[in-house]
Each structure stands twice: as C-alpha cells, then as structure tokens.
Amino acid sequence: MSHPLGLRPSKIIAVHLNFRSRAAERGRFPDEPSYFVKPPSSLAWSDTELVRPKGTELSAFEGEIAIIIGRFAKNVSRADAWEYIAGVAPANDFGVHDLRYADRGSNLRSKGSDGYTPIGRVLDPADLDLKNLRLRTWVNGEVVQDDNTSDLLFDFAYLIADLSRTITLEPGDIILTGTPTGATTCQPGDVVEVGIDDHERLRNVIVESDDELPKPGAQPKVTQVDKDAAVGGAVPAIKPETEKMLREVCTATIYSQLRKRGIHHTFFTGLKPARTDLKMVGVAHTLRFLPLREDQFAERGNGMNAQKRAVESIGPGQILVIDARDDHGAGTLGDILAARLIKRGAAGVVSDGCFRDSPMFADLELPSYSAGAHAAVLGRKHVPWEVGVDIACAGVLVRPGDILVGDAEGVILIPPALVDEVARDSVQQEHEEKFILERVEAGESIDGLYPLGKAKRAEYEEWAR
C-alpha cells in the first residue's frame, strides 16, 4: 500500500542507540552507530491504528525523526551528506517486544510487522535547523519525551556518510535516527503523538487485535530482558544487596577501600549536603555547563535547554551530577527543578557550583550537595551545554553510570566494576572498627589494635562470633 504522502522507500534503516539521554538510560555509549532494517511494508501514516496481537503486553512507542533521502547516495562524505536529505518527518518506531526474543537481534517481527513504522508529514529541510530540532512525544496528551538533535551521538550527516560506505541509499529511503529517553510501553486505547518543533504531529492509536497470532512460528513470550528493553528506565547498575551495604557505611570507609585498590581521587572536594540526615546512593546522570558566551547562551540557553533536558531524562535511582567548572558565581539549579527531580525518582543532585533557593533544599526529600548558595540564575556564568557526557565535578572525573555515595561528610565516587567488592569490604572494615573502638573506650592502647594486628585478630574473631 502506498503512503498517502508519497513515501515509497526501498528500505527503512533504524539506528539502535543515538540520543545521549537514551544512552545514559541504557548505561552504554556506542563508539559507532549500529542499525537494523525494517521492511517497507511496515510503513504507516498518521491516524492509522497500531495493532498488537491479542494477548501481548509489551507494545512500545519510540518517538523519532525520520530522514528522507533525496537522491542516490554512495560513498558520500560527511560534509556533503546534508545535501542528500530531501526532508525530515516525525516517526514512531513502534514494536511489540513479546516477539523480540525470537528475532535474535534483527527486530524483524517485533518492529517490522505491517504498519509498525508510521511516518508523519514531511518537512522541508530548507525551513529547518537540522542540528537543532526539538523532538517530543505525547501519550494521551502528556509529554513523555522531549529532546533535541543537538544531543545526538551521531548527527544526520554522520549516519548518511556511514551507511553509504557499503549500502547505496536510494531516493525515498528512510533513516530512523534514534529515540531519546522516555520511550516505554503503551496500552490499547493510548494515543501516541510525535512532533518536530511546533509542526503538525504524527498521531496513532494503539489497539489490540481480536485474534491471537496464528501458528506456525514463534509465539509471543515475555522475558525479563525484553521487558526491561520495552519498559525503559535506567539499567540497574547497583545490586539491591550492594546498595543496602553502601547505605550502611560512611564515605570515609569507602575512601579507605578505594585507596587500597589504587583509586585516590574520587572524593568531591568542598561540597556540602543541604541535609546531613539523608544518605545518597545512586548512578551518575551527567550535565555539563560551559562558560558564559552571550551568543551561545542565546542559541542554547533558552527553552528546553540541556539543563531542563537533564532533569526530564533522569530515571529512578540516578543522581544528577553537574559540571559547573567549580565556578561559584551563579546558581546551577533551583527548588522547582529539584522538585521535578523528586517526581522523576532521582536519588540526588550534586553540583560543584551553587544552588539557588538554597533554604528550600533543607525541606526537600532529595539528597543535595553543592559548593554553596547563590541567588543569580545560571545565565550569569554558564551556558547549559550537553547531557550524558564525561564531566569533571569538584575535581572528580565522572562518567555516566558511575556509582555515587553521599553522607554528612560529602560525596564519593566508586567505579562500577569495583562497587560490589568495595561495599562488601567496607562493611567488614566498619565491623572491625566497631571492635577496635570498644577496646579503645575500655582503655586499651592502639598499639597492635589499630590497625588490627595479628595478635588482636583472634580476639576480634571471637568477639565477632
């Protein structure tokens, strides 16, 4: 069936992971893009129904921007690739993840079924800033995805240049350029809309078929891996038992354990908590500010800028970590955005700059660490630049997915590969120190006791039993 807007692709190519916010959510940042192919028969348009088989439960939307190729592209340079774009359009890379287990990575049945690639009205690139397009998705009228092409890992030109090295792109071919954070499951009756800037939205309704998927062939099945992929959210980086141990120990103990492993520079110097009674454990979600330059602030500082996108893309258990270059001349976050972090399920916020509305943080149920207070808005000193990148905060190199622990003393980072053993050995160290403290308070000398010597270890082991 031909598309009412005249789209007749020979192929539809989709990128697996391309928005920084989605990469941060998944806990991995690819060095190069990877792709899968959807058949042209999956093409649909606005107001068509997205039909999932009866009995399935993992239907999922992914708001995206589709590139429409305008002419034959083979071995195109990145510099010239922009000239091969005939248009862009809102798209929904819809899928039913109950069938994903059977695809073995191809996504053919889960995302390539008839009608699973609705494409909206094509927009003329001459009227757009392709490097600064706002992409939004609504479910039942509520915004659930909000991001910008400035946060793509690989821009449109990169994708065209990369693909055209080995695949001839033909006029009308479609490239789906990736989805930001917020993509998740939807249910029959849900209305999903996707829009670019303020142009006409793509609109589709989810429905369930009256019939189950017939045999032969694989039948729908829910696996935990496929459920996690469909539902979205932050990839659990901390085991529950590890998190429990980290909440029991102090940052000073963690520092000792890291030092034994040759890690010396992960304590955030100079940051203080707004509330000393709250413990913080979570996964880093990073935001980078650059020094104020008025023309760049005019371009990147207004509207749904990187600061707001960082807040809207944070997931449960994640900690917003802000790189303000240790500049204390302006606020980096205020009480309204902090309240939004709480609603998003954030585990905390850390900034090496200052907070505005700082007295309010003492009443928020959000572990918060900063270098102090400042009433000025961030535009006095900073340009909100990018989300989900490696940053420096209070002298510490922070990567998305790193583990942070905060207490009344401050914040410390644990590399993810070490977190389980550091947590276990920190609990053991504090247990030994409890024994040592009891002996010191009883009047014993610290000689051979602190640190625990061989002669005293037998006493400790008896005490521990």
pLDDT tens for each residue of 453-464: 877 787 888 887
Q: Indicate if the pLDDT at residue 272 is higher than 90.
A: yes
- Which residues lie closer than 8 Å to 78 by C-beta, 6 or more apart? 157, 158, 160, 161
pLDDT at 237: 64
Smallest CA-to-CA distance from 35 within 165, 140, 151 is with 165
Tokens standing for residue 409: 């003393």
β-pairing, 368-370 vs 348-351, is parallel
**Binding-site annotation, residues:** 334-337, 356-357
pLDDT at 25: 75
Q: Among 92-106, 268-282, 341-355, which is the least confidently predicted range?
A: 92-106
Tell me whether the omega of the peptide bond preceding residue 214 falls within 30 degrees of 0, making it cis. no
Write out the chain in H/E/C secondary structure: CCCCCCCCCCCEEEECCCEHHHHHHHCCCCCCCCEEEECHHHEEECCCEEEECCCCCCEECCEEEEEEECCCECCCCCCCHHHHEEEEEEEECCEEHHHHHHCCCCCHHHHCCCCCEEECCCECHHHCCCCCCEEEEEECCEEEEEEEHHHECCCHHHHHHHHCCCCCECCCCEEECCCCCCCCECCCCCEEEEEECCCCCEEEEEEECCCCCCCCCCCCCCCHHHHHHHHCCCCCCCCHHHHHHHHHCCHHHHHHHHHHCCCCCCECCCCEECCCCCCEEEEEEEEEEEECCHHHHHHHCCCCCHHHHHHHHCCCCEEEEEECCCCCCCECCCHHHHHHHHHCCCCEEEECCEECCHHHHCCCCCCEEECCECCCCHHHCEEEEEECCCEEECCEEECCCCEEEECCCCEEEECHHHHHHHHHHHHHHHHHHHHHHHHHHCCCCCCCCCCCCHHHHHHHHHHHC
Q: Indicate if the pLDDT at residue 104 is higher than 90.
A: no
Using 50, 70 and 90 to split pLDDT, how confident is the model at 110?
Answer: confident
Q: ∠ CA(334), CA(313), CA(44), 5° rounding?
A: 140
Strand partners, 63: 92
pLDDT at 303: 83
For residue 163, give the amino acid letter: L
The fraction of the chain above a pLDDT of 70, given in percent, is: 98
Q: Indicate if the pLDDT at residue 424 is higher than 60.
A: yes
pLDDT digits (tens, 9 = 90+) for 290-329: 999 999 999 889 888 889 988 987 888 999 999 999 999 9
Is the pTM higher than 0.85? The answer reads: no
Using 50, 70 and 90 to split pLDDT, how confident is the model at 2?
Answer: low
**Binding-site annotation, residues for substrate:** 334-337, 356
- Read off the pLDDT of each residue in 408-420 and give the average, rounded to a whole number: 95
**Binding-site annotation, residues for Mg(2+):** 357
Q: CB-side exposure of 317: number of CA atoms within 13 Å?
A: 16
pLDDT digits (tens, 9 = 90+) for 191-242: 999 999 999 999 999 999 998 888 898 898 887 777 777 877 655 568 889 9
- Which residues lie closer than 8 Å to 327 by C-beta, 6 or more apart? 291, 353, 381, 382
Distance between CA atoms of residues 334 and 345, nearest Å: 17
- Read off the pLDDT of each residue in 334-349 and give the average, rounded to a whole number: 94
- Domains in the chain (CATH in brackets) are 12-231 (3.90.850.10), 265-414 (3.50.30.40)
